[in-house]
Amino acid sequence: MAEPWAIWGRAIHAPDAVDVLPRALITVDAAGTIISVEPYVLENDAKLRGFSDSGHLITLAADQVLLPGLVDLHVHAPQFPQLGTALDLPLEEWLQAHTFPLESRYEDVAFAESVYTRLVETLLAHGTTTALYFATIHLPATQRLAEICLARGQRGLVGRVGMDHPEQCPDYYRDASAESAIADTRALIDFIRTMPGNENGLVRPVITPRFVPACTDALLEGFGLLAHETGAHVQTHCSESDWEHEHVRARCGCTDAEALDRAGLLGRRSVLAHGNFIEPEDVARIRARGAAVAHCPLSNVYFAGAVFPLRAMLAEGLHIGLGTDIAGGASASLFEAARQAVASSRLLERGTDPTLPPERRGVPNSRIDFRTAFRLATAGGGEALDLPVGLFRPGYAFDTILLQSGLPDGNVAFGPDENGDTILQRIVMGAGRGDIARVWVAGRLVRSR
């Protein structure tokens, strides 16, 4: 719409604690930015009539609720074809046996185009309005992913993967040199920032060293300089598994976080996937730099060998959001990741080994609830990326999902008289793509049923 418009109905978001806006009036400008949010507007209010008379009002029914769009902080776009398969090996073997062979196929741009189109559609259907993507080492295919995000209207942060270490990366799938990896990454940054139609920065480039083991020191340092020069986001994996954490210690004589920091790769716009084994000095370092952790509870079950101490890390003041980690995580749904975040935290709190006495089985005060999981999936993701998304707040993008009770292929039903907190609980603990009736990104309706 070329003029401001408004939407009126029940909305729930989590600025800090969960905040239910029972009859919210949200006004949106032509660029898709929220102008105003009023939590309680009655139906005879003159403000509503102004918008409805000009045909610029969307009115929600009692069985509908708005939530901020979901922010997925960790997606391997090229791994989508192996979703739900091949999780029988530890990380370092899984990469070599399954993942690098699959990722190497994206030299074929037509193959990339078909997978990436299906992935972006699927994630939008699941309510993911913002996704932070790892692509592959291939510049043309990665450019296609950026174009597909822009065309489909998804807020996409897209990274061409850098991986040049001859000991960890196979001959058939490796950057030829640190210099060529840096040059291709610079080319991607320029390409995305000048894509026609991307003037508002809906799609953004991300400097993406795969993880310390896959990168030479020269590549890490070159990427650090590029991050400083361009101000682009940075993403990588950090201290994901015992093997990974120890490998970096042996090679660099320090932790992942310290190695990344030495290279200049820890900043306010850096997102570290996993962080399961970060140590107290790492926590202080990550907090001081304002970097974020993408908590990926679905893949952590398979690869980590431990549960990320989410509640403790939130108490430490880190920026944290959620990632599906497709395809180390076997679901494209960030609601599924939210549920696993709750479940994993409960397992950490109470423990897992029934032969131990209950008082020695777990880590007390580790649980999070559905409210915290919801916050991580929305506002937490926005904070992690340093982008104005994930909240209904003036100046934020209208990136929003509409959930509807009792859809034919939905999981969730809620009554018009149930309170917002109970409705949110039903949604976080149960919702799937079948419950999502509409999706907007930057005010544009990108999906509707």
CB of 245 to ligand GUN, least distance (A): 12
Task: Give the C-alpha separation, 264 to 184, whole Å.
Answer: 19
Q: Which stretch binds ligand GUN (CB under 6 A): 16-24, 49-57, 91-99, 404-412?
A: 91-99
Q: Taking Cα atoms as reference points, which of 143, 236, 159, 160 lies closest to residue 198? A: 143
Residue 261 near which of ligand GUN, Fe ion, none (CB within 5-8 Å, type-dependent):
none
Give the residue nearest to Fe ion (CB). 325
| Binds ligand GUN by CB under 6 A, chosen from 142, 299, 331, 366 | 299
Q: Which is nearer to ligand GUN, 76 or 367 (CB)?
A: 76
CB of 89 to ligand GUN, least distance (A): 12
Q: Which stretch binds Fe ion (CB under 5 A): 36-44, 247-255, 267-275, 306-314?
A: 267-275
| Binds ligand GUN by CB under 6 A, chosen from 156, 205, 328, 390 | 328
Give the residue nearest to ligand GUN (CB). 328
Q: Which is nearer to ligand GUN, 174 or 210 (CB)?
A: 210
Number of residues that bind Fe ion (CB under 5 A): 2
CB of 327 to ligand GUN, least distance (A): 8
Q: Which is nearer to ligand GUN, 100 or 414 (CB)?
A: 100
| Binds ligand GUN by CB under 6 A, chosen from 175, 325, 383, 435 | 325
Task: Give the C-alpha separation, 144 to 140, whole Å.
Answer: 6
Cis before 2? omega within 30: no
| Binds ligand GUN by CB under 6 A, chosen from 60, 91, 158, 283 | 91
Beta strands in 91-219, from DSSP E residues, in sequence order: 128-134, 155-162, 204-209
| Binds ligand GUN by CB under 6 A, chosen from 99, 143, 276, 404 | 99
Q: Which is nearer to Fe ion, 136 or 400 (CB)?
A: 136
Query: Could you report how far apart the first and last alpha carbons of the chain are, in Å?
Result: 19
CB of 210 to ligand GUN, least distance (A): 5
- Contact (CB, 8 A) for 379 and 391: yes
| Binds ligand GUN by CB under 6 A, chosen from 10, 138, 186, 210 | 210
- Contact (CB, 8 A) for 154 and 120: yes
Q: Which stretch binds Fe ion (CB under 5 A): 116-124, 285-293, 317-325, 356-364?
A: 317-325
Q: Which is nearer to ligand GUN, 331 or 405 (CB)?
A: 331
Task: Give the C-alpha separation, 212 to 202, whole Å.
Answer: 29
**Which phi and psi angles does 148 have, rounded to 5°?**
-70, -40
The 180-209 contact track toward ligand GUN, x by CB under 6 A, reads ------------------------------
Say which DSSP state 69 is in. Answer: P
Number of residues that bind ligand GUN (CB under 6 A): 12
Under the criterion CB under 5 A, does residue 244 sit at the interface with Fe ion? no
Task: Give the C-alpha separation, 372 to 313, whole Å.
Answer: 13
Task: Give the C-alpha separation, 108 to 265, whole Å.
Answer: 30
Q: Which two tokens stand for residue 339?
A: 């549920």
Q: Taking Cα atoms as reference points, which of 230, 229, 163 lies closest to residue 193? A: 230
Q: How many residues does the chain have?
A: 449
Tally Cβ neighbours within 10 Å of residue 282.
22
Task: Give the C-alpha separation, 330 to 74, whole Å.
Answer: 13
Under the criterion CB under 6 A, does residue 237 sit at the interface with ligand GUN? yes
The 368-387 contact track toward Fe ion, x by CB under 5 A, reads --------------------
Task: Give the C-alpha separation, 80 to 432, whole Å.
Answer: 18
- Contact (CB, 8 A) for 417 and 128: no
SS3 234: strand
The 264-283 contact track toward ligand GUN, x by CB under 6 A, reads --------------------
Q: Residue 295's beta-bridge partner residues?
A: 322
Task: Give the C-alpha separation, 363 to 349, whole Å.
Answer: 5
Task: Give the C-alpha separation, 392 to 409, whole Å.
Answer: 28
Under the criterion CB under 5 A, does residue 325 sit at the interface with Fe ion? yes
Which residues bind to ligand GUN, rule: CB under 6 A? 76, 91, 95, 99, 210-211, 237, 240, 299, 303, 325, 328
Which residues bind to Fe ion, rule: CB under 5 A? 273, 325
